[in-house]
Amino acid sequence: MRAHNLALVLQTVANSTNQPSRAAVSAATGLTRATVSALVDDLVSGGLLVEVDPPPRTGAGRPAVGLTLTSTGPAGLGLEINVDYLAACVVDLTGAVRQRFVEHADQRPADPAQALAALGALAARARLAAEADGLIVAGAALAVPGLVAGRGLVRVAPNLGWQDIDAVAELHRVPELADLPVTVDNEANLAALGELRVTGGDPTFLYISGEIGIGAGLVLDGELYRGVRGWSGEIGHVTVYPDGRPCRCGSRGCLEQYAGQEALESGEPLAAAALGIALSAVVNLLDVPVIVLGGAYAPIFERLREGIEAELRQRVLTSGLAPVALRPAALGADAAMRGAADAIIRAVREDPAGWLRRSSQRYV
């Protein structure tokens, strides 16, 4: 009950547009002022909330002290490995990005252990910089362009040439990360979740992420749809031309061969048409009203838009009844690592009691 109420108070402060007083939190939650005060004391002493001076007020009464999320407490470390870059960021409890490192380099020549060691070094830099800045990194989440099977095992990442790689174990070899909880997820899934939380708008959309490979994250009614084995969203391997170009995956005519980053450089109109064909299949199957273009598609969105829309108009059965909205990702190319960091922060915000317990054990 206390754990539930701690989360309720923390979320109430987090979701406020101003800096609410204890009395305002009491009114919003229905908890008594005494209960709220005790919970707020715990959240303040545990380093999750801070008290701020009220703005000077004219008029009667003493203005109350406001509450806000701390910018020096727990933080999330978001990591991404993709075919041509490594990235790490640290996001604090308020959602602000506090550290951001991106290293462009082709990862395909490296073996998985080398690539993850390089990412681990970047992650260690980000963590140390964040902790020098007063933050406590609560955990890390890693975004990978491939299929993940629970507990950090990357089953297949076709464009990296990875198979059955224990990414968590590799990251834990880096001394500065050895004590850190690490989770792994598909990059498009994390990017879609990042997009969902940042925009807070459409509850149902497809997020499509264009890199060397192409992935998608499907958000249905505000929830990421992962599929039965967690392997949904492999839109890069949807066939657009059945007898078309051979793909690394062993099939032919995959979307990736026409609209992946390498194909994109040589022919945007062909890429837009191929995207339009594959996205029409998504809309016909799922009646998804919004498509968000992320990764490499975000900066060239306006150049792809018309070609995609032409295919949607022709190929979506209901296009005459209700148009499909296309938009670029709000988080741009950082969506996956931001979504990863956000997953850590979200876990703290949803279970502050767990965080207080773990952090008191750590620092006793």
Q: Residue 153 interacts with a second copy (CB under 8 A)?
A: no
Q: Residue 354 interacts with a second copy (CB under 8 A)?
A: no
Q: Residue 330 interacts with a second copy (CB under 8 A)?
A: no
Min dist CB 284 to a second copy, Å, is: 4
* CA neighbor of 348 nearest in space, from 359, 339, 338: 359
Enumerate residues 251-270 that contact a second copy by CB under 8 A. Answer: 251-252
Q: Residue 280 interacts with a second copy (CB under 8 A)?
A: yes
Among 60, 132, 285, 364, contact with a second copy (rule: CB under 8 A):
285
**The amino acid at 260:** G
Closer residue to a second copy in complex, CB, 197/315? 315
Min dist CB 295 to a second copy, Å, is: 17
The span from the CA of 263 to the CA of 272, in Å, is 11
Residues ≥6 apart with Cβ < 8 Å to 60: none
Min dist CB 156 to a second copy, Å, is: 7
Q: Residue 156 interacts with a second copy (CB under 8 A)?
A: yes
Closer residue to a second copy in complex, CB, 27/249? 249
* CA neighbor of 167 nearest in space, from 136, 144, 187, 190: 144
Q: How many residues bind a second copy (CB under 8 A)?
A: 48
Q: Residue 44 interacts with a second copy (CB under 8 A)?
A: no
Q: Which residues of 47-80 are buried (b: 16+ CB within 10 A; e: fewer)?
A: bbbbeeeeeeeeeeeeeeebbbbbeebbbbbbbb
Let me know: does 331 contact 338? Beta carbons within 8 Å. yes
Min dist CB 249 to a second copy, Å, is: 6
Enumerate residues 177-236 that contact a second copy by CB under 8 A. Answer: 204, 216, 218, 220, 225-235
Min dist CB 149 to a second copy, Å, is: 9
Q: Residue 317 interacts with a second copy (CB under 8 A)?
A: yes
Among 282, 292, 298, 308, contact with a second copy (rule: CB under 8 A):
282
Q: Residue 239 interacts with a second copy (CB under 8 A)?
A: yes
Let me know: does 44 contact 33? Beta carbons within 8 Å. no
Let me know: does 325 contact 289? Beta carbons within 8 Å. yes
H helices present in the chain, as ranges: 2-15, 22-29, 33-45, 112-132, 167-172, 187-199, 256-259, 261-266, 268-286, 301-315, 335-350, 352-363
The span from the CA of 156 to the CA of 147, in Å, is 5
Q: How far apart are the first and last CA of the chain?
A: 25
Among 284, 301, 307, 358, contact with a second copy (rule: CB under 8 A):
284
Min dist CB 227 to a second copy, Å, is: 2
Q: Residue 85 interacts with a second copy (CB under 8 A)?
A: no
The span from the CA of 24 to the CA of 253, in Å, is 58
Q: 3-class SS at 23?
A: helix
Q: Residue 240 interacts with a second copy (CB under 8 A)?
A: yes
- Give residues in contact with a second copy (CB under 8 A): 147, 155-156, 158, 204, 216, 218, 220, 225-235, 237-242, 249-252, 273, 277-278, 280-282, 284-289, 314-318, 321-322
